[in-house]
């Protein structure tokens, strides 16, 4: 019974702080947009940059790899290039997701929200 009352008091506090929480979440969205992570594959042949909102912001493909694809029509070369690009994109998005989880977990802790790190990660999936 006391746990229920304690839970209700916690909910009342959250409702009271709702405008503050909403403003903080909007700021977090902006902050996540400024986070930038980079991943590469093929020894740097493909480099991808993503932000904390899990958006690709840049893609760089090494000139030598592009030249090999343009000059030759070898399907194996094209498949390798495509695999490198997919790998770099996925690695960059994973790094961005991890960084966003860290930022969100810190914000939740700062606002004294009873959210576990696992719950924060689930929000981004």
With bands split at pLDDT 50, 70 and 90, how would you rate the model's confidence at 71?
A: low
Asked if pLDDT for residue 89 goes beyond 70, the answer is: yes
Please determine, for residue 55, whether its predicted confidence score (pLDDT) is greater than 80. yes
The residue that leads in pLDDT, 59 or 125, is 59
For 9-33, how does the pLDDT look when each residue is reduced to its tens digit (9 = 90+)?
Answer: 666 666 677 787 778 778 888 888 8
Look-up of token digits 């592009």: 66
Architecture of domain 2-124: 2-Layer Sandwich (3.30)
Rounded to two decimals, the pTM is: 0.68
- Break the chain into its structural domains and give their ranges: 2-124
- The whole-chain average pLDDT of the chain stands at 81
- Cα-based distances in Å from 125 to 47, 64, 96, 120, 122: 23, 36, 12, 9, 5
Asked whether 85 and 47 are in contact (CB, 8 A), the reply is no
């Amino acid at each position: 019974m006391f746990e229920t009352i304690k839970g209700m008091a916690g909910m009342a506090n959250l409702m009271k702080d709702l405008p503050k929480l909403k403003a903080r979440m909007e700021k977090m969205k902006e902050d996540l947009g400024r986070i930038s992570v980079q991943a590469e594959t093929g020894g740097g042949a493909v480099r991808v940059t993503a932000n904390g909102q899990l958006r690709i912001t840049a893609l760089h493909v090494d000139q030598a790899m592009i030249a090999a694809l343009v000059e030759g029509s070898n399907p194996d070369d094209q498949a390798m290039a495509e695999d490198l690009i997919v790998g770099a994109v996925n690695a960059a998005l994973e790094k961005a997701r991890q960084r966003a989880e860290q930022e969100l977990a810190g914000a939740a802790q700062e606002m004294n929200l009873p959210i576990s790190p696992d719950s924060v990660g689930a929000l981004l999936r």
